[in-house]
A and B are shown apart, each in its own frame.
Chain A
Amino acid sequence: MIKPLLVALHEIRIYLRDRGDLAFSLLLPVVTFALMYGAFGGQDTFHSTAHVVNEDQGGAYSNLLLERLEEEDSLEVNLLSAREADSKLDRADLLLVLYIPHGFSDAVASSEQGQLVFKQRGNGGDEGQVVASIVRSAVDELAQEFQVHAQVSEALEGTGVGQEQINVTVEQLIKEERQELTVTVGEETLGGRTDPVEAFLPTIVTMYVLFAVTLTARVLVEERRRGTLERLLTTRIGVGQLFAGKLLAFCSRGFIQTLILLGLAYAVFQMFTPLSFIQSLVIALVFIAAASGIGLLISSVARTEDQATWIAVVFTMTMVILGGTFFEIPEGGVMSVLSKISFNTYANDALKAIINEGSSLADVGMQLAVLAGVALVALPLGRLLFKVLPGGR
């Protein structure tokens, strides 16, 4: 019993001594997380930048429009000079720019038609169209407010009420109206929560764990190459104990990396409860054991390190694709049937159920059983192949 533990500690000691490997493997989850955060940043709503050229410098209405745009949660306003904007449009660095022409405020003040211009490449792109729509909405709102001002002023003309008082009162009423909208729009999301981090985290975790297959696949081949495997075979350690020790070492290593990734997700996105965090770790641990078992199986049959790496890469890619990591696999099709042979599918399903749907470990018992089964079959099968193949025992 103690020998597998000694082998695992020995393997971990080698891992800790290789500073480059250690730094890379611990930084990898952090980098993965940073990429995830950079890509999604916890956002589940539209967010973009409105590029604006304001040629109506100092104009009251152009400033008002810019203030309104800056108040939009989904927009950031980026002011450009006309030359800069034209150049960027020419180079297609930007697809859509809003121009506020010279004299816009004066035109609005004198009740003429003030005109804004969108310059765009093609249709301005999907994102540009959404930005244009938000700008139009802000402009419409402003126009309605101007209209209210004008109509109230006209109605009170000759009543002795001063223009200043009219302006203050109308603005106050409009402000109140904007704060207490008479019509609101709610959102109801079907098919679970749509937070991209929550949607992608389970698949990123499982894909990440699968990379461990490549590392584990090389371990016995490396021992063979440096002659230590043969030396170990002349000592009193059994081959089964050697396998168990290697499995333990790679499970520990994979678990620490997964703990970092999930821990960061917990801390930054607050997407777990303490219980769902522990449940996710349990699923990850069983999946890591299955992946390490498969890695050892590959290591038993591979003759060279390159061979081990390539077998592991092909295996990993197949599992990742069939496991629905990059795209949702629709129910009922051929892919749906094929996905059942990927143990990623079961890990993804289990993690999604825990993270996104608030399920418990009991709810994902079938998935856990499949993953544990893979680990329990892969390890003895690897041991058997090691025995029957040339150079084994």
Chain B
Amino acid sequence: MTKTFLSAKNLYKSFDGRKAVDRVSFSIRTGEIFGLLGPNGAGKTTTIRILSTVLEADRGDVIIGGYSIRENPDAIRSLIGVCPQELALYEELSAVDNLVFFGRMVGLNGREAKAQAAARLKLVGLTGRAKGRVDKFSGGMKRRVNLAVSLMGHPKLLFMDEPTVGIDPQSRNNIYRTIEKLRDKGMTILYTTHYMEEANRLCDRVAIIDAGRIIAMDTPLALRSRIGPPEQVTLEDVFLKLTGRRLRD
């Protein structure tokens, strides 16, 4: 049986009295790609911010790689990489300078940071543009740099918050292939997305979250089977059935 790498227990977080995350519990096994799906404002990003030690939960705890987030957040930071929803890059600098800087921040020495930066840029298909300024890059290239930065320091667990939003099919496909390569190497990934076909393709299991609560959690196949023959039902059908067709803010 595969070992659990992340275990979230009864996470609760509110902002000005509004529940953002409400008793969320789930676990992710080592080497698993776990999808967190939900409409806008469902609590996906808040959950990732809690898991990545940026926000403190009002209640509940998270164990990652055997460390409690409340007791040893520094140890957890040494295990994780975060690919945020918004591009988090120094656009005045080159791609390689961004990677090297964040590499140094996760504890690599100068030589390691340069070597890893070269390897990560190769992985995302940007070797030829390593020294180009990020502000001159297309949206897709920036997304790929964003992903490459999150891989600096060999994280064991990667949080990917909607990494393919607003990019062209070629860059999206490159990111899919990168994620698949990471999975093949045994990396554990928590993945949030609005694109159901992407979750269906990449995720071993998915949890659907709405209004801060997990309302379903299973493999994509098992979820599709819940409402009909899986070959005729899409994950989007399941998603809309569970979360409703009401427009969200």
Contacts and interface: CB of A to CB of B under 8 A. Distances in A.
Interface in B89-105: 89-93, 97, 101-102, 104-105
Interface in A202-252: 226-228, 230-237
A236 B105 contact: yes
Interface stretch (A13-21, A182-190, A273-281): A13-21
Contact of A230 (B80, B88, B101, B149): B88
Given A236-B106, A237-B105, A231 B92 contact: no
- Which of A234, A235, A237 is the most central at the interface, judged by chain B CB atoms within 10 Å of its CB? A234
B53 interface: yes
Contacts of A232: 105
A10 interface: yes
A89 interface: no
Contacts of A226: 86-91
Question: How big is chain B's contact interface, by range?
Answer: 20 to 34
A227 B101 contact: no
Interface of B is mostly: loop
Contacts of B104: 3, 6
A14 B91 CA distance: 9
A110 B53 CA distance: 103
A233 B93 contact: no
- Consensus secondary structure, chain A interface: helix
A234 B82 contact: yes
Contacts of A231: 82, 84, 88, 102, 149
Contacts of B107: 235-236
Nearest to B83: A231
Contacts of A13: 93, 97
Contacts of B54: 230, 233-234, 393
B29 interface: no
Contacts of B101: 6, 10
B89 A228 contact: yes
B14 interface: no
20 contacts: A3-B105, A6-B104, A10-B90, A13-B97, A14-B90, A14-B92, A17-B133, A226-B87, A226-B90, A226-B91, A227-B87, A228-B89, A230-B84, A231-B88, A232-B105, A234-B54, A234-B77, A234-B81, A235-B153, A236-B74
Kindly list the 7 A-B residue pairs having the minimum CB-CB distance in the complex, ordered from nearest: A227-B88, A235-B105, A231-B88, A227-B86, A234-B82, A17-B92, A234-B52
Interface of A: 3, 6, 10, 13-14, 17-18, 226-228, 230-237, 393
